[in-house]
Amino acid sequence: MTPPPPLQPDDPKAWLRRAQSNLAYARHEVEGVLYEDRCFNAQQAVEKSLKALLLHHRVTFPFTHDIAVLLTLVETHVKPVPQPLRSSAALTDYAVSTRYPGVAEPVTRAEYLQAVDVAAAVVAWVSEQLAKPS
């Protein structure tokens, strides 16, 4: 299989492709992989997809893992975010605290499934937005 051509770091499609990759990784249930690590990838999918949308609309964003900050930028400079997707802000906790032992409570399967569901919804919504002219 030939790899796709490299995309520039300011190309929204490059960010969306990485978000889709993180989502696929989060969904892939491999024995021995912790829910915390899968949730980290769900968080990354949301973060990178929102950054793709901001890039698409030429909105500058900070280097942050804080999804609430990114959602606010989208709502301020692009368009309202559908209510169910706003819950993705809770995935910010998976960016740091759950990645290290003893810092946070273990993630349950139900929490993991919820994180993947909301991440999938955000990635799908952003994909739709990028298909529209800016």
- Identify the residue whose tokens are 């890039």: 55
Above 80 in pLDDT, residue 107?
Answer: yes
Dump pLDDT digits (tens) for 46-87.
999 999 999 999 999 999 999 999 999 999 999 999 999 999
- Topology of domain 12-131, CATH: Four Helix Bundle (Hemerythrin (Met), subunit A) (1.20.120)
In angstroms, the CA 124 to CA 23 distance is: 11
Dump pLDDT digits (tens) for 10-40.
899 999 999 999 999 999 988 999 999 999 9
Above 90 in pLDDT, residue 127?
Answer: yes
In angstroms, the CA 24 to CA 103 distance is: 26
In angstroms, the CA 84 to CA 27 distance is: 20
Helical segments of the chain, H only: 12-27, 35-56, 67-77, 83-86, 109-131
Q: How confident is the model at residue 114 (pLDDT cuts 50, 70, 90)?
A: very high
Question: Are 107 and 33 contacting, i.e. CB atoms less than 8 angstroms apart?
Answer: no
Quote the tokens at residue 96: 């740091």
pTM of this structure:
0.91
pLDDT of residue 9: 75
C-alpha angle 35-39-43 in degrees, rounded to nearest 5? 175
Residue 11 identity (one-letter amino acid): D
Helix (H) or strand (E) holding 116: helix 109-131
- Listed by start position, the domains of the chain span 12-131
Above 80 in pLDDT, residue 4?
Answer: no
> What single DSSP character describes residue 81?
P
Q: How confident is the model at residue 2 (pLDDT cuts 50, 70, 90)?
A: confident
Quote the tokens at residue 103: 């810092």
Mean pLDDT score, 102-108: 86
